[in-house]
C-alpha cells in the first residue's frame, strides 16, 4: 500500500467514527429524559402516599382514635399520587413536549 491509499483509508475511518459518535450522542438525551420522567412519576406517587400517612398519623394522635385516619389518608394519598402520575403521563404524551 502506498501512502495515499493509507491516508484515504484513515480519513474514511475517521468519518465513520465521527458519524457513530454523533448518532450515539443524539440518542443519549432521549434515554436520560425517559429515565428522569420515570423517576419523576415514582416520586410523585411516593410523595402522595407519605403525605397521606403523615396526615393520618397526626390526626389519629391529635384525636386519640384508632388508626382510622391513617387508613383513610393513606388511601387518599395513594389516589392523589396516582392522579398526579396520570396527569404527568398525559403531559408527556402531548405532541409539543
The model's pLDDT over 12-49, given as tens digits with 9 standing for 90+, comes to 888 888 888 777 655 556 666 777 888 888 999 999 99
Decide if 53 is inside a domain: yes
Residues of the domain holding 73: 29-92
User: CA 97, CA 90: separation in Å to the nearest integer?
Assistant: 10
Counting the structural domains of the chain, the total is 1
Spell 40-56 as b/e; 16+ CB within 10 A means b. ebeebbeebbebbbebb
pTM of the model: 0.62
In a domain, 23, yes or no: no
What pLDDT digit, counting tens, does each position of 42-75 carry? 999 999 999 999 999 999 999 998 899 999 999 9
63-to-40, 49, 52, 84 alpha-carbon distances in Å: 34, 21, 16, 29
- CA 58 → CA 20, 42, 79, distances in Å? 57, 24, 19
Amino acid at each position: 500500500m502506498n501512502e495515499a491509499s493509507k491516508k484515504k483509508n484513515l480519513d474514511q475511518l475517521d468519518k465513520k467514527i465521527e458519524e457513530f459518535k454523533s448518532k450515539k450522542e443524539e440518542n443519549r438525551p432521549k434515554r436520560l429524559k425517559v429515565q428522569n420522567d420515570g423517576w419523576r412519576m415514582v416520586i410523585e406517587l411516593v410523595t402522595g402516599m407519605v403525605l397521606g400517612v403523615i396526615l393520618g398519623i397526626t390526626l389519629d394522635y391529635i384525636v386519640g382514635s384508632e388508626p382510622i385516619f391513617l387508613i383513610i389518608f393513606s388511601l387518599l394519598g395513594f389516589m392523589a399520587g396516582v392522579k398526579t402520575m396520570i396527569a404527568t403521563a398525559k403531559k408527556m404524551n402531548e405532541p409539543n413536549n
